[in-house]
Amino acid sequence: MPDVQTVQGAVDAGELGTVLAHEHVRFRDEAVAAEWPGRYDEQAELDAALVAVTAARSFGVQTIVDPTAMFGGRDVRFMKRVADETGVRIVACTGIYSYDYLPHYFENRDVDVMAEHFISDLQHGIQGTDIRAAFLKCAADAPGVTEHVEKIHRAVARASVQTGAPIMAHSMPAVGTGPRQVEIFAEEGVDLARVQIAHCGDTDDVGYIEGLIDRGVYVGLDRYGLEMFLPIDKRNATAAELLRRGHAERLMISQDYCATIDWFPPEAEQVFESQGAIRKWSMTLVFEEVIPALREQQVMDDETFNTIFVENPRRWLTA
């Protein structure tokens, strides 16, 4: 099988094993962290990442796809420490995570120059290391596919066409960004079988999700535990219906868990949990509650599990 780049170097795709397709070992604003490093406790962040990833490993997870890109505080040295200390492989990306904002640096350079930056991460290494990105990341959220968001999508698409690297696109079903994102990739000539539209599981509109699957992309049912977007029962009902309709080969199931995230003050997590905005959000919820529930509904057996957690991520990463 072809190689896949991880933060510990290239591995044979056949060795990826059970994969969580969308988790973050740390998520923080890199500008704030660079300007006020004293506000962050790197040891506590590392400890939280080790706890989360070790817990996932106890359920058989061998590889984590971490789509932390620019503006999410991507740090491949940190990722490698987590991988080295847990024995779980981490697959890193390149790209820009923005809902609209672009630095002047990229605003005043064209799409192809932006793509060159991504290609350098894919082919040579990230942040002065020889750790290479395995896939490309972009995002569209509440503001929709704005001019800047479209520019990032086109740069990601061109980098994919030139290198063969797959794409993961954060999407927001509530404002229906998915179809437009796929359209841009198609216009740029991307192989849609290498595209993963993340966060489709935030809606229970099976028709919307099926419309994307019909284009040939993977869809992420990847925010289990984030009840503020959709509660687990509705997420499971959506997953079950997609499985009944025969779409196992297009689904990624994950949690979009952030071992630490700086978006809110530390006390907010407990408030969110008590208000029901999040529930048991972790790197293990899908194994503790989702798989058992889907097995009970008789839409998940060992073969389906293998398709979703082993074969799909491997196929998406390698074609």
User: Of the two residues 45 and 256, which places its CB atom closer to Zn ion in the complex?
Assistant: 256
The window from 125-133, 230-238, 248-256, 305-313 that contacts Zn ion (CB under 5 A) reads 248-256
User: Of the two residues 72 and 86, which places its CB atom closer to Zn ion in the complex?
Assistant: 72
Residue nearest to Zn ion according to CB distances in the complex: 256
* CB-CB neighbours of 150 under 10 Å: 17
Nearest distance in Å: CB 196, Zn ion: 11
Nearest distance in Å: CB 99, Zn ion: 13
The torsion angles phi and psi of 91, rounded to 5 degrees, stand at: -105, 120
Answer yes or no whether residue 66 interacts with Zn ion by CB under 5 A. no
Nearest distance in Å: CB 109, Zn ion: 26
Q: Are 256 and 199 in contact (CB under 8 A)?
A: yes
Q: Are strands 9-12 and 3-6 parallel, antiparallel or unpaired?
A: antiparallel
Nearest distance in Å: CB 220, Zn ion: 9
The DSSP letter of residue 165 is -
Query: 230-238: which pairs have CB atoms within 8 A and are 24 or more residues apart?
Result: 230/201, 230/202, 230/203, 230/204, 231/279, 232/279, 232/285, 232/289, 232/290, 234/204, 235/201, 235/204, 235/290, 236/290, 236/293, 236/294, 236/297, 237/204, 238/201, 238/203, 238/204, 238/206, 238/209
Q: Are strands 61-65 and 251-253 parallel, antiparallel or unpaired?
A: unpaired
User: Of the two residues 202 and 256, which places its CB atom closer to Zn ion in the complex?
Assistant: 256
x-or-dash pattern for Zn ion, window 84-123, by CB under 5 A?
----------------------------------------
Nearest distance in Å: CB 52, Zn ion: 14
Q: How far apart are CA 290 and CA 300, in angstroms?
A: 10
User: Of the two residues 121 and 202, which places its CB atom closer to Zn ion in the complex?
Assistant: 202
Q: Are 177 and 147 in contact (CB under 8 A)?
A: no
The window from 73-81, 143-151, 200-208, 256-264 that contacts Zn ion (CB under 5 A) reads 256-264
Q: How far apart are CA 311 and CA 252, in angstroms?
A: 10
The window from 111-119, 135-143, 251-259, 278-286 that contacts Zn ion (CB under 5 A) reads 251-259
User: Of the two residues 188 and 256, which places its CB atom closer to Zn ion in the complex?
Assistant: 256
Q: Which of 256, 284, 313, 318 is close enough to bind Zn ion by CB under 5 A?
A: 256
Structure tokens at 197: 């539209």
Nearest distance in Å: CB 53, Zn ion: 15
Nearest distance in Å: CB 67, Zn ion: 5
Strand-pair partners of 197: 169, 219
User: Of the two residues 121 and 256, which places its CB atom closer to Zn ion in the complex?
Assistant: 256
Binders of Zn ion: how many residues, by CB under 5 A?
1
Q: Are strands 18-20 and 167-170 parallel, antiparallel or unpaired?
A: unpaired
User: Of the two residues 75 and 256, which places its CB atom closer to Zn ion in the complex?
Assistant: 256
Nearest distance in Å: CB 215, Zn ion: 21
The SS3 call for residue 259 is: coil
Radius of gyration of the chain (CA): 18
**Which residues make up the interface to Zn ion (CB under 5 A)?**
256
